[in-house]
Structures are given as structure tokens and as C-alpha cells.
Structure 1
Amino acid sequence: MERLVSSYNYYLSIADKRLENRFGMSSIFSPILTLVIYGIILFIIRKIMENRKPFELKTFMIFYNLFQVVASFYNCFEILYLVIKMKYSLTCEPVDYSDDPDATRLAYAIHFYYVMKVTDLMDTIIFALRKKSNQITFLHVFHHSSMIVTGWLGTKWVPGGQSFVCVMFNSFVHGVMYSYYGLSSMGPSIQKYLWWKKYLTQLQLFQFLCVVSHSMVNAMQTECTYPKAFVYSTAIYTTLIAGLFVNFYRQSYLKKAAKIQATKTE
């Protein structure tokens, strides 16, 4: 136990000091507590809603999705602006832990990304209040929960350098995704024009491919000082999530299309 505490204190000592007083970054217990509260709230809501009619939440969803769209695109282009300004490399870019204004600004943008992962948990709460149990899948809960952990770890130790690729890509994809959700929440008059839902999943899969490819390229840069532990863990985690999304895409679109085609030929 003493050795475990010693190791924890050591890794805490080499974490980025610029973010230690920002939201959720003071202790490893912060993401753990976030997930515990998330689980408790979901449990309570589902119990309360058992014998109640689902909430509509139309106005709330419109404004919530609008916030997510603006915040996601803002963060994406904030990071893009900074990495172009600082002339970051795509193949090897170590984390700049200095107090340089632009490097610090990038660290804050990556921290904001983590905060966005916390606000993303509202998706599940909305599903529960609307009694959309079919949308609270293993993929949904695992993805949202694991992003709290991975987002916290990345923000704590590598808020910069090569991390910008994953964060920037994901922020852009979420901007597009919440644009779809926002339009969908406006009702049937708008929903009939949203024929492009399956392409959102394709965009997410393309994102995963880019992130894994980028990690592999970085892994081959033997002299690059960006922590290899984060390179490999990013590749492994993204591959796992990609596998779950591929299965979702296959079940939701490919098999459904095959059934429709089979019905037509009968």
C-alpha cells in the first residue's frame, strides 16, 4: 500500500502544474466522483420515471445542443489556430510545459475539452428523463464514462503536444454530431430532412482511423519525447471504441439495409 501511495505521489508530482487548480484537476478522485454521481443520478432518475410519463424537454434540448455545438467548434478552431501559430508537427510534437502564453492557452483548451466530456454526460440524463432506454446502450455508457477517465489522464499529464490531434478531431466531430441532435430535437418538421444520420457514424469511424494512424506514426518516432505510454494507450483505447462503433454501424445500418433488400426481393 505504501508503495502504491508513493507511486501515486510521484506521478502527481510530474503532472502539469498549470492546470492543478482548474476544475476537476486537483485529484484522481475527481473523475471517480464524477462517475459515481453520474451512476447514482441515472439510477434515481430511472427509478422515479418507472411510473411516470416521459418528459419532452424540447426547449432544453435545443439550447443544450446549441451550447454543445458552439463550445465544440470553438474549441476545435481555438486549437487549430494555436497549433498553426506555434507551427506544431504532425509526426512528433512534445508537450510544452512552460508558461509560454500560447502553450498555456493550448493547455487550457485541452482542459476545456475535458470539461466538455463532463457536460456530455447530460446526454444520458436526457435519455433517461425521456425514457429512451433503447439509447442508453453499453456503447453509450461505456464511451461517455471512459472518456471522463481518459480525458482526465490526458489533461493531467499531456495537455499539449501530440494530444492536440485527438482533441481537435473529436471536438469537430462532436460539433457536427450535436448539430444533428439539435436539429432533430426541433421536431418532425425538421427531422424529415435529416437523412444523413448514418454518415455521422462514418465520420466518427474516420476520426478513429485518423487518431490510430497518427498514434502509430508517432510511435515510430523513436527520438520523440512525447510520452509513449500515452501514444500506445490512445491507439489501444481508440481501436476498442472503433470496434464498438463498427458493431453499432453494422447492426444499425448494414443489417437493416440487408433485411429491407431481402423483403423487396421476396
Structure 2
Amino acid sequence: MLRDVVSNIVKSHSYLQSKIDARVIDYPLMQSPIHMTCILLGYVFLSVYIGPRLMANRKPYSLKTAMIVYNLCMVLMNAYIVYEFMMSGWATTYTWRCDLIDTSSSPQALRMIRVSWLFYFSKFIELLDTAFFVLRKKQAQITFLHVFHHSVMPWSWWWGITLTPAAGMGCFHAMVNAAVHVIMYSYYGLSAAGPRFQKYLWWKKYMTAIQLTQFILVSVHISQYYFMEKCDYQNPLWIHLIWMYGVFFFFLFSNFWVQAYIKGKRLPATENKTKQNGSTSEPISVVANGKHVENGNAHHYTNGKILMGKVKEI
């Protein structure tokens, strides 16, 4: 029986490999779902279990310079991704309505494939967000929303660009997401630079609103499919999945908004926490994706088990 199970798994894997679009199969992490799935499972295990325990009895790392450089690089990368999406169709030949999957090998199609893969790959780079949290002992920021979002996005996108790398109207959400990340990483970069840049962060309260607007735009755009008289999109499954994705994350982030700004459970707060030299810490604020934005002073949990953003004393 075990032999039959293994045989069926091998057959399924071989069948899936035969369906990978020939135009994208030579890109890194595109030859099989096994590699990217193992990376993402390792990410969840390290960020939720191993990482916090390794850091439990260690001092947090500052990483200020590394974070400034990282955030700047992410701003530039996402800005480039937005530009390439626009030049690959959205600002040139796309109608912003029923844009079909491009199965050709035209220069525009190949350009769209390159930027789609780059967007997918950028999601693995973004896993460093969590690594910074772990190394700086910001375990309370490793929430369910944070881990779920960072692991599901690259996993789901592998299937999209594996089967339809030039997905037409199915890649609009990627362009919007990259544009939002330009704003977000600009905010994180300024925040990491220190207290003297706090005056430039007056717009932090709008971060959640920007995220919610993103999911509204994605859902409205893809919903056009259901009202068009005729749209022969080649893979309607992507339409349904993108719509469900937009609605699902809209409700997740709406719940964050309610908890933070209506019920006040995660409102930005100032805690006069005494440090060893007798001074007090600066404000710590919560922003849209469940991350805190600090001025460099940290709240640490040195004697606790981390359970998806909660600390259980032991």
C-alpha cells in the first residue's frame, strides 16, 4: 500500500512538471513545488518555534543599518516591479478589463513573465522581515496574520506563474501589491532610521487604510469578469481564486483595523518603561500589516514561549 502511495505521488509530481510553462521553467525555484514548499515550511518553523527559542537567552541585535539598507532595497525593487508591470502591458496594450493570458513568445509576453517571476521571488526576500523580528527579539510581532501572509503569498504565486506566467488580468493584484510595498517599505525605512525621522511619519495611521484599499481595488477589478457579456479568459479558476484572496485578506485586515482603531486593543501607545540607565523608552506604534514600528528601543520577552504573537510565561 505504501508503495502505491509513493507511486501515485511520483506520478502526480511528474504530471505537474509536464504542465510547467516552458517559458518559465528555467527560472530559479520554478522546476518543482517541492523546493519552495520546503523553504516556506522551514520559514514557518524557524520563525514561530526555533528562532524565538534560540534568541530567548541572547541579547537582541540592533541591525539598524541592515534594516535601513534592506528597506531601501525593497523600495527600489518594488518600484522597478511596478514599472515593469506597466511597461509589459498595463500602461501599453492592456484594457484593464478582459485582458487574456498571453501564450506567445513575443517580447512583451517574455517581459511580463520576467517581472511576474521577479514579483514571486521578491516574496522570498520579504521573509527577511520575520528574520529581523526574531533577531531583534520582537516576537510579539510574529502574529498569525504576519506568518500566514508571508507564507501563503509565495506558495500560491508559484502555481500562478508556473501554469500561466503571462496571466493578463490575473496579474493586476501583483502590480497593486508591489505599489503598496513601495509605500510600506518607505515607511519602515524611515522608521528604522531613528527618532529624528518621526516627524516624517505623520501618515502612519493611513497604512491600514492603504492595505484595505489594495484589496478593494483587486476585488473590484477581478469582479468585472462576472459582469462582462463575454470574456474568454483561458483559466477562470484564477479569477475565482484572486477574488477570494482579495475578499479574504480584506476581512483579515479589517479585523486588524477594528481591533486597533475601534476597540483600541492595539492602538499606538507610549510606555514609560524604565531602562537600566534610568531613561524611558520612546513610543512603539503598530502599523497595517501587524508589524510594530520602533525607534530602536525594544520590548523583549526573554523568558517565554512564543505562540504566534503571544507570550506564555514559563
- The normalised TM-score by structure 2 is 0.77
* Aligned counterpart, 2:57: 51
The verdict on how the C-alpha distance between 1:157 and 1:220 changes in structure 2, with shifts beyond 3 A counting, is: farther
Shift of 1:223: 3.5
| Residue in 1 that maps onto 2:73 | 67
Tell me how far 1:117 sits from its aligned partner.
0.5
1:127-138 map, 5 Å: 127-138=133-144
What is the alpha-carbon distance in structure 1 between the residues aligned to residue 43 and residue 265 of structure 2? 35
User: Would the aligned equivalents of 1:16 and 1:157 in 2 still touch at CA under 8 Å?
Assistant: yes
Cα RMSD between the aligned structures? 2.2
Residues 44 and 151 in structure 2, CA contact (< 8 A), matched pair in contact too: no
- Name the CA distance, whole Å, in 1 between partners of 2:140 and 2:8: 44
Give the partner amino acid of 1:80: M
What's 1:190 paired with? 197
Question: Structure 1 stretch 166-175 or stretch 209-218: which is displaced more?
Answer: 209-218
1:171 maps to 2:178 = yes
Which shifted more, 50-59 or 216-225?
Answer: 216-225
**Which amino acid in structure 2 is aligned with residue 247 of structure 1?**
N
C-alpha contact (below 8 Å) 2:173/2:218 kept by paired residues: yes
Determine what percentage of the aligned residue pairs are the same residue.
38
Aligned pairs for 1:25-174 within 5 A = 25-42=30-47, 43-84=49-90, 86-160=92-166, 161-174=168-181
Is residue 225 of structure 2 the alignment partner of residue 214 of structure 1?
Answer: no
Q: CA deviation digits over 1:133-173, x for unaligned, max 9?
A: 12111100001111121121112122221133111100000
Task: State the alpha-carbon separation in 1 of the partners of residues 146 and 16 from structure 2.
Answer: 30
Gap change, CA 1:91 and 1:189, over 3 Å in 2: same
Q: Deviations over 1:65-105 (max 9, x none)?
A: 00100000111011112214641121111111221111101
Rg comparison, structure with higher value: 2
| Greater helix share, structure number | 1
Could you say what secondary structure the match of 1:51 adopts? coil
Closer/same/farther in 2, CA of residues 100 and 254 from structure 1, 3 Å limit: same
Query: 1:192 Cα deviation (Å)?
Result: 3.9
Q: Tell me by how many angstroms 1:47 deviates.
A: 1.3
SS at 2:179's partner residue?
A: helix
Shift of 1:12: 3.6
- Asked if the contact 1:117–1:151 (Cα under 8 Å) also holds between the matched residues in 2, the reply is no
Judged with a 3 Å threshold, the aligned counterparts in structure 2 of structure 1 residues 249 and 132 are, in CA distance, closer, same or farther, namely same
